[in-house]
Structures are given as structure tokens and as C-alpha cells.
């Protein structure tokens, strides 16, 4: 039953909400940019982000991994 619920939540809560949530938890983040394929509307399974601000790299890594499992896509931060 959990996979079905997860699928329903993912459909309702898009990747944009997951990225917003991720960015909102990283500390002193000034800007977040979605770039490359996903920004062009191509779902290649990789989401590239540019984060500007003072970010704890350990916290970023931890949140990225959790988000990746949730949305079934790789998150790369540049």
C-alpha cells in the first residue's frame, strides 16, 4: 500500500515542491536555479541545481539523498 500512496503524493506534489522544500532547509540560501535538461522540460532523471548562499555541505548531501529517493531522480548541485 505504501508504494501506491507514495506514487499518489508524487503526482500531487511535483518535483518543484520537493526542490523548494530542499532549498528551504539549507540555511542561508540566497537563490536557487534549476538548470540544464529539467529546466528545459526534459525529464532525463537528473535534476541540476545551482545554489547560491552559505550552505552546510553535510546537510545538503543528506537532504539531497533523501529527496532523490523520494522523487526517483538524481540531484546534482553545482
Alpha-carbon gap, residue 9 to 47, rounded angstroms: 19
Residue carrying C-alpha cell 546537510: 59
Q: Which three cell numbers stand for residue 59?
A: 546537510
- Domain range for 22 is 2-77
Q: Kindly indicate the confidence band of residue 47, based on its pLDDT and cuts at 50, 70 and 90.
A: confident
Q: Flag whether the pTM goes above 0.85.
A: no
Q: What is the distance between the alpha carbons of residues 55 and 51, in angstroms, rounded to a whole number?
A: 8
Does 6 have pLDDT greater than 60?
Answer: no
Amino acid at each position: 500500500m505504501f508504494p501506491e500512496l507514495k506514487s499518489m503524493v508524487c503526482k500531487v506534489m511535483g518535483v518543484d515542491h520537493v526542490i523548494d522544500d530542499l532549498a528551504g532547509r539549507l540555511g542561508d540560501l540566497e537563490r536557487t536555479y534549476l538548470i540544464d535538461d529539467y529546466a528545459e522540460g526534459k525529464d532525463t532523471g537528473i535534476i541540476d541545481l545551482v545554489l547560491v548562499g552559505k550552505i552546510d555541505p553535510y546537510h545538503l548531501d543528506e537532504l539531497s539523498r533523501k529527496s532523490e529517493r523520494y522523487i526517483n531522480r538524481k540531484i546534482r548541485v553545482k
